[in-house]
Structure 1
Amino acid sequence: MRRGVTFIEILLVVAITAILAGVTVVNLLGKRSGLELQTTTRQIVALLREAQSNSINQASSTSWGVRFENGTSTAPFYALFFGAYATTTRSGYYRLPPNVRYATSSIPQGSSTNVLFSQITGFPLATTTVVLELLGGGTVASSVIQVSRNGSITH
């Protein structure tokens, strides 16, 4: 009887290893993308709460808000601002990650939405819903951020 490993056995081990490695890489990339959606959602909620807090505390003696822009010529972004939105009143500017986008049902392509909080009360001027979508060969997952008229911010 011969001892040793045949060429077919080596090919079989290499093929199984390659399949397992491929499945692992795809799985890890999917988790990373899902983490980007969760992180972006949390950052937006934190920014909304910061704007609300600044309005309650009357920072800079004015109201504060967050602008969500889904531009056609620029990358989608969200920005903290005070008073009326303008590039000169932005206090923070953040782009969405490449694999995260605004759902067109909440912010249509080429438009923007401002969430402005009233001074002292911190109530938003209107109820707003922002939906984020994770892309990956279509919409893979989504996250909903709700700003209610009573000032609650949920996701």
Structure 2
Amino acid sequence: MTGDELRSRTMRAVRSKDTQPELIVRRLAHALGFRFRLHRKDLPGSPDLVFPARKKVIFVNGCFWHGHDCARGNRQPKTNADYWFAKIARNKVRDARALEQLRNTGWNTLVLWECELKDLGSLKRILENFLTRAWDQQTPELQR
């Protein structure tokens, strides 16, 4: 198998739903007693977790795929770099548009990054704060 074939096979295995980071958040939210819907296609961006009664949604983003500014998100592709830079830029625009549309229709949003999920205590506090308290859309990171 050539390097291109191996890379192609690896990329096909990357999932957009039911990823390990998403499962971590789902298990913790459920353990905290919160019930949710998954991947509502009728909402902009098909949020990973939807809490309809609370009018809140959570996106669980992979750092590389969504262009986070952490070490994992800032990795430079070794091959086909122009393609990947353009793809990640499109993803960031698409994500921003979906968040804006959700907020404009009265939904509270939270974006969790893959790198934030290592500290389960902190993640638990973030989820509890987001799901039980009023959430300031303009500065959610200040309330974490």
- Larger strand fraction of residues: 1
Calculate the TM-score normalised by the size of structure 1.
0.30
Calculate the TM-score normalised by the size of structure 2.
0.31
